[in-house]
Structure 1
Amino acid sequence: MSGILDGKRILVTGVLRESSIAFHAAKIAQEQGAEILLTAFPRPSLTERIARKLPRPAKVIELDVTNAEHLGGLEDIVREELGSLDGIVHSIGFAPQDALGGNFLNTPFESVATAMHVSAYSLKSLTMACLKLMEDGGSVVGLTFDARFAWPQYDWMGPAKAALEATNRYMARDLGKQNIRCNLVAAGPIGSMAAKSIPGFEELASVWDQRSPLEWDMSDPDPAGRAIVALLSDWFPKTTGEIVHVDGGLHAIGA
């Protein structure tokens, strides 16, 4: 039986642990027929260990999305490994500790700039580094956390995600002529390594227990991984600039 990603070649960032959404996207992508290449920073060895739990072997390359040399050499590395690309999974976000946990009004610009560079600008810089690999078009899928609201403890990651969402819309505008679709998945809270780095994360996540129409399981990244794979596939051929919510429906509930 063929999968919805048969023959596609996908670059996946952000596989840090088996609990990460990116890991599940990579796993489902392989199960659906894709050939994948993983990137990691700052510890490729960690991702290499996690990659052994995928259905099939996947090579891991080091990539710091704030490093111009890394980005400049990415095309040649990917071309050598995969030949070309049909899709990119952007699962990259970071903010220094003083930009999180209730310190919003006191965060220095240097920390804000780091959050914006890693979490938002990198969607553009990563895609542009891979642009020539997607000569026949492709799909770029990123991960966001609904940036319409001010969340407890999330602080400057909120504006960074808002910038990511705006970046996605502008990329959709400018890359559509090359048949490259750009979409985001707004996932509910998952107990991943990235989430646990946010002070007071449990307070933020507790909102889902009270308000989500569908029961939400913080230990299950599979629904978000499935949405990513669906957007990478040809089943959404005319969808771009979109944010697909995989949050149990909480985004639709006012109170």
Structure 2
Amino acid sequence: MGLLDGKKLLVTGVLTDSSIAFHAARLAQEEGAQVVLSSFGRQMKLTQAFSRRLPVEAPVVPLDVTSQEDLDGLADAVRAAGLDRLDGVVHSIGFAPQSVMGGNFLTGTWEDVATAIQVSTFSYKSLAVAAKPLMSAGSAVVGLTFDAQFAWPVYDWMGVAKAGLESANRYLARDLGPDGIRANLVSAGPIRTTAAKSIPGFETMEDAWPRRAPLGWDQTTAEPAARAVVALLSDWFPATTGEIVHVDGGVHAMGQ
């Protein structure tokens, strides 16, 4: 029996087969779940291509989290893809213009900062609300963060957006809890994904990580973080919500 036998899940953010989202979808299927992916615009073809690399090709529904029309139509799109309910949703969505990262904290404009916050922070709530009509007691929302308790080199306004995400997770847990829906985040260490490579100077964050981590750290694999996502989607955390699970080799617990 798999950890997610019978579960029906929506996974966002599958754009490469090196991402946490892709490996979460793969592991979820291997643990017995039925998975639907989401994508939008020019990225749709990428998501469809990588869907074919999963153990079972997953349907892809349209979802631009900045489009209220897409959000309003999400439940119907998921039903049309063959899922009559959602037992879990994975939020793997984040974006900030390069003009507000890479040492540009003081020069970033509100327009670009607003984009980062809308896509990386507000979308967590938006996705949960859009999926809620298909969710019931026992369902789970799981998002991805990068430890926002520190000011990291080059992360700048994306770090602020992640701090907002971590706060939003607590409020989401509060407001979804009465319906029996959990909301938790996985805080992963640096992984060499396409998203990470788009951050100017990202190597300044990742280079020292393996030395600082008590357990060591492999930046080339998203599997440990994906395993945590799958665990939080399962029934093994029935009373855990508003939490941030660190999958970073232990760096978050160490002094400088």
Q: Pick the TM interval, shorter chain.
A: over 0.9
Report the Cα distance in structure 1 between the residues aligned to 2:39 and 2:19, rounded to whole angstroms.
Answer: 13
| 3-state SS of paired residue (1:130) | helix
Q: Which residue of 2 aligns with 1:4?
A: 3
| 3-state SS of paired residue (1:244) | strand
Report the alpha carbon displacement of residue 40 of structure 1 after superposing the two structures with TM.
1.2
Q: Does 1:35 align with 2:34?
A: yes
User: Structure 1 segments of 4 or more deviating over 4 A?
Assistant: none
Q: Which residue of 2 aligns with 1:74?
A: 74
Q: Which residue identity lines up with residue 29 of structure 1 in the other structure?
A: A
Q: Which residue of 2 aligns with 1:134?
A: 135
- Identity over the aligned pairs, expressed in percent? 62
Report the alpha carbon displacement of residue 136 of structure 1 after superposing the two structures with TM.
3.7
Q: Which residue of 2 aligns with 1:238?
A: 239
Q: Does 1:62 align with 2:40?
A: no
Report the alpha carbon displacement of residue 97 of structure 1 after superposing the two structures with TM.
1.1
Report the alpha carbon displacement of residue 214 of structure 1 after superposing the two structures with TM.
1.0
Q: Which residue of 2 aligns with 1:13?
A: 12
| 3-state SS of paired residue (1:82) | coil
Report the Cα distance in structure 2 between the residues aligned to 1:244 and 1:149, rounded to whole angstroms.
Answer: 16
- Unaligned 5+ segments in structure 1 are none
Pairwise CA RMSD = 0.8
Report the alpha carbon displacement of residue 139 of structure 1 after superposing the two structures with TM.
0.3
Q: Is the 2:136–2:181 contact (alpha carbons within 8 Å) kept by the matching residues of 1?
A: no
Q: How does 1:146-165 map to 2 (within 5 A)?
A: 146-165=147-166
Q: Which residue of 2 aligns with 1:211?
A: 212
Report the alpha carbon displacement of residue 215 of structure 1 after superposing the two structures with TM.
1.5
| 3-state SS of paired residue (1:160) | helix
Deviations 1:170-207 (A, max 9, x none): 00011101000000000000100110100001111113
Q: Which residue of 2 aligns with 1:114?
A: 115
Report the Cα distance in structure 2 between the residues aligned to 1:137 and 1:230, rounded to whole angstroms.
Answer: 13
Q: Which residue of 2 aligns with 1:84?
A: 85
- Unaligned 5+ segments in structure 2 are none
Report the Cα distance in structure 2 between the residues aligned to 1:172 and 1:93, rounded to whole angstroms.
Answer: 20
Q: Which residue of 1 aligns with 2:99?
A: 98
Deviations 1:205-252 (A, max 9, x none): 113033111121111100000000000000000000000000000000
Report the Cα distance in structure 2 between the residues aligned to 1:79 and 1:50, rounded to whole angstroms.
Answer: 22
Deviations 1:125-166 (A, max 9, x none): 011001110034400000000000000110100010000000
Report the Cα distance in structure 1 between the residues aligned to 2:74 and 2:14, rounded to whole angstroms.
Answer: 17
Q: Which residue identity lines up with residue 79 of structure 1 in the other structure?
A: R
Report the Cα distance in structure 2 between the residues aligned to 1:226 and 1:137, rounded to whole angstroms.
Answer: 19
Report the alpha carbon displacement of residue 60 of structure 1 after superposing the two structures with TM.
1.0
TM-score w.r.t. length of structure 2: 0.98
